[in-house]
Structure 1
């Protein structure tokens, strides 16, 4: 599993695209702002910021619980750190099965109680905790290792020292991070008024058709995907890319895109389908595009 700077685990995370996105910023001569309208764990954005490839990142996520984690990291890191330290197990200390499961059940209940509150600190911790301790990081799923804990342990992805280090590092860069909890369909039309088209790059990674409702709070209907395509394609003066699952509906929605490609990416959310899954990637008329590292584009 690749190391990322994000505190989150995301089965559909695009961290492997970092060298490719960094290259696009370079050839398009952008160093100002990097925007993710469906940010999730924002692994690429964080690495771009930490590596000084970009001056500012914008993290937007409609899911109130995900947003609450970002807000807590930027504004209340001490609370998260104290709660992390109090967890009765760790990557280096498996703890006791009964107390571990009881603790998980308590945080699971808190998550469902607070998940609609974008500013709840207890909800933020519960969200982060479940993301680190659930199968594939799916917050609404079950605990790693199941109820028996006979093989994989619930502690397998909960390294307190590493997680606290990530939170502190992100907090230290808070002045270069803007966060929001908005519907992307409402946010995108405002981008031209708020950002400089010449020095802004946008990465659209919307919930996919296949797994959107399973993995994401902000899953989209077919009409939403259609509206989203129209809004993205209207940003013709901005440099952007959009990634999607390999479906004919998506290919049709983006048939007028200037750049239309296929590429492959390793996935981990479903072990039965693990491997390189082909996906679509589209780009704006003003975005220079080139393959880089393991991201090989095939024009379609």
Structure 2
């Protein structure tokens, strides 16, 4: 049986494939159940970081670590947390046209010719104006803007500015990193009142959704790192793949329900894997035999 999940308010300015905002109740309860309230919440593969922001902005944790190896995603998080006023001014003033889209696309595809701030904003712009938020997809409405939705369909300035403003208020409690996720796990695993939630690229369809998709060896390396730290406080979610289940055969595994927003809204079963010390709150997932 798949446990129903409640949709939560959106805190992240990014639209992200496989975003886990619907798991806010589970993660929030897990932080509390495992004594990490007021501590540090760590996402080694942050992406849109909706859960991290939700926990921080509702004061359930004292600080968050947002890590992403993708330099474009990292540049966005650095820009919105370290140069908030300048970033928000661009959100206010940027034109929502195909001419602007082409310029921002050029920045994104030629990062070495532009500043990290410009790359971060271009990443944000494309995420909000591309189909399903996929950075290498085309613009909403197409090149001729002849589709039923136009390029501005997911660019609500007022909403996005408010999310950026809230992030700016908490920026000194957000640690943005651009490292390999394994290095982040190695650094934070075992620390007092530190909760790690790993949400790596999907195993079966990751190459269709992420520019930095994992290879099989990457999934195996992650499993080795987490299994070797089974006494630390962590949880992990994946698409439901037999290979992944096998890699974590020594750990407890659960079925959870997650909403997907790429291409079409649907709900599917995903796999949650927990460290040995992790206490799963009742009523959020179904244990696998």
TM-score, length basis structure 2: 0.92
Equivalent in the alignment of 1:175: 172
Residue 87, structure 1, aligned to residue 76, structure 2? no
Find the partner of 2:229 among 220, 225, 235: 235
Counterparts of 2:65 and 2:58, CA distance in 1: 16
Contact 2:223 2:247 in 1 (8 A): yes
Aligned-partner SS, 1:102: helix
Q: Does 1:77 align with 2:84?
A: yes
1:94 alignment partner in structure 2: none
Q: With the length of structure 1 as denominator, give the TM-score of the two structures.
A: 0.88
Alignment-derived partner of residue 4 in structure 2? none
Rounded Cα–Cα distance in structure 2 between residues aligned with 1:184 and 1:260: 21
Paired residue secondary structure (2:110):
helix
Match of 1:105 among 91, 102, 116: 102
1:298 aligned partner: 287
Tell me how far 1:2 sits from its aligned partner: 5.9
Q: Which runs of 5+ in 2 are unaligned?
A: 1-6
User: Which one scores higher on RCO, CA 8 angstroms, separation ≥ 6?
Assistant: 2
Residue 25 of structure 1 corresponds to 31
List runs of 5+ in structure 1 lacking aligned partners. 90-99
After TM superposition, list the pairs within 5 Å mapping 1:1-300 onto structure 2. Answer: 3-31=9-37, 32-89=39-96, 100-114=97-111, 120-150=116-146, 151-192=148-189, 196=191, 198-257=192-251, 259-271=252-264, 274-292=265-283, 295-300=284-289
Moved more, 47-56 or 230-239: 230-239
Equivalent residue number for residue 3 of structure 2:
none
* Cα drift, residue 115 of structure 1: 7.3
CA contact (8 A) 1:65 1:116 kept: no
